Amino acid sequence: MKNLILSSALALIAVPAGYAQEAVQWRVQDGGNGHWYALTAVQGTWPAVRADCESRGGHLVTITSAPENAFASPLAGAGSTTAWIGAFQPAGTCEPLCDWRWVTGEPWDYAEWAPPGANDFGAGEDCAETYNSGGWNDMPTTGWIRRGIIEWSADCNGDGIVDFGQIWSGILVDDDLNNVPDCCELGTPCTPCPGDITKGGSVDATDLSIVLAAWGSNGQGEFQADIDGSGLVDGGDLALVLGGWGPCNAPAWATVISWMPDSSIVTDPQLRASIAATGQPWRVRDTATGIEMLLVPPGSFQMGCLAGSDAYACTNGELPVHQVTLTQAFYLGRFEVTQAQWQTSMGSNPSFFQGHSDSNIRPVEQVNWDSIQNFVSATGLRLPTEAEWEFACRAGTPTPFYNGSTDDSSVSSIAWYGLNSNSQTHAVGGKAANGLGFHDMLGNVWEWVNDGYSEYTASAQTNPAGQRDAEYRVVRGGSWLIGTNEVRSSYRLYNLPGSTYSSFGFRIARNP
């Protein structure tokens, strides 16, 4: 969370490298336009400074009124300091009194702003305005080394608040640090439940009390009470709480842990955008069983073995590759179901690898497909389909291993398998997660899915569920027992639904 500092007249906001000073907001409550301004640290010609400002999500300042001039011009400093602004005369046009423009496209009345005796450049010469010793003067775009005044005015999500303040107060995510909200760049909802300050899954009296307790302040503290990023906890924040009163769009069965995906876990911005676009929380806990689950967004992928590993080629059971489209988001267990979770619901523990200090958080095994049906009936959960399992396992990767590699030796970082398991299961979550945040989808134990086994065809499929009356059921992901020829995203194994092995477990799914 970035620090937001409030003065009596201006909202000040700390900014990263690239600016010569803190940004200041010309606040609406002070008669301003809500825009943010700062002097850039970059020096150069007018085109270079303009390009720098635009690369930072803003533009060279556009002075459209005397009050704005009085607010923004002092940012250039005192004395002979010169700063570029966003007025220019396009090349090839008349001068000095016609066809001046702002960088934002609006006409600019040069005669209104030019001081007596302003420089007079020949027709067709690019010109730019600078603030110098108390007045604005036109100067050539070359031969001068000056800073610029940057202005942020964009409101890409249309909430009436300039995005810059919301980004740097932590309201909107900007992982690529260009001062443009990621949600706007990707066309996804920016604030699925903005009034839910505590991220508890509903906007309620707790959120209201936080806003009221912070009223008139900058809203910093344990919770971000300045919901709209205006620099002040005021009526705008109260309106967001009252307007969003009630449950957020979260499943009734779930306790929300985090609405938005953690960018350090879900590092792909497209995946984060797809999750946010569902309007559902990313990380939840099934309230009845305590099982933690992550949201998998809808999407399409190539199912099957797109490429073998360095050591092993594709097998017939993984072919042909075919396109699969999943039209609905679903939740999937972040980890394999543990021995403790099974015992809590079923009253017994069938696992072979029990009696260890960490047995409760090792995956349950020696469970067959038939016995899992009793578990799902008791909990309201379900097994994922085979297509759902592979889509979640791959997390957008086309490679045999979900770390994006074809190198068999790299599997040790993501999976417990034959070469590193010491011939036993291990506590869930001990290896690196995939790009959606799931652990142990490769290795540890094979995972039963809901599908009956059938051979692939090349035909594209939508929401495939497998052959319902098949003799065999599918398991995926490999286990502690075998090598990288089977511990990969596309490998398929099948067995009778009543089969019980110490290398067979499962992961649970649920609809939102």
> Residue 385: beta bridge partners?
none
| pLDDT confidence band for 189 (50 / 70 / 90) | low
User: What pLDDT shows up at residue 3?
Assistant: 25
Flag whether pLDDT at 394 surpasses 60: yes
**Residue of 503, 312, 285 lying closest to 401 (CA atoms):** 312
**Residue of 483, 313, 490 lying closest to 400 (CA atoms):** 490
- Segment 466-476 shows an average pLDDT of 89
Is 269-510 in CATH node 3.90.1580.10?
Answer: yes
d(CA 445, CA 454): 22
Q: Decide whether 4-152 matches 192-248 in CATH topology.
A: no
CATH fold of 192-248 reads: Type 1 dockerin domain (1.10.1330)
d(CA 47, CA 55): 12
Flag whether pLDDT at 11 surpasses 80: no
Percent of the residues in the chain that have a pLDDT greater than 70, as a whole number: 83
d(CA 54, CA 40): 12
Domain boundaries, the chain: 4-152, 192-248, 269-510
Pairing, β 504-506 against β 254-258: unpaired
DSSP of 234-260? SHHHHHHHHHT-EE-S--TTEEEEESS
Angle at 76 between CA 74 and CA 78, to 5 degrees: 70
**Residue of 180, 206, 152 lying closest to 25 (CA atoms):** 152
d(CA 439, CA 334): 6
Percent of the residues in the chain that have a pLDDT greater than 90, as a whole number: 49
Among 53-62, 85-94, 336-345, the minimum mean pLDDT is found in 85-94
- Segment 281-296 shows an average pLDDT of 93
User: What pLDDT shows up at residue 20?
Assistant: 60
**Mean pLDDT of the chain, nearest integer:** 85
Each residue of 306-350: pLDDT tens digit? 999 999 999 999 999 999 999 999 999 999 999 999 999 999 999
d(CA 176, CA 179): 8
**Residue of 360, 348, 469, 486 lying closest to 417 (CA atoms):** 486
**Residue of 142, 128, 146 lying closest to 43 (CA atoms):** 146
Q: Do 334 and 439 meet the contact criterion of CB atoms below 8 Å apart?
A: yes
User: What pLDDT shows up at residue 275?
Assistant: 84
| Alpha helix segments (H runs only) across 215-338 | 235-243, 269-277
User: What pLDDT shows up at residue 188?
Assistant: 65
Tell me the Ramachandran region of residue 244: left when phi exceeds 0, alpha when psi lies from -120 to 50, beta otherwise. alpha
The answer, yes or no, to whether the previous bond of 96 is cis (omega within 30 of 0) is yes
**Residue of 173, 419, 198 lying closest to 273 (CA atoms):** 173
CATH fold of 4-152 reads: Mannose-Binding Protein A; Chain A (3.10.100)
d(CA 205, CA 196): 10
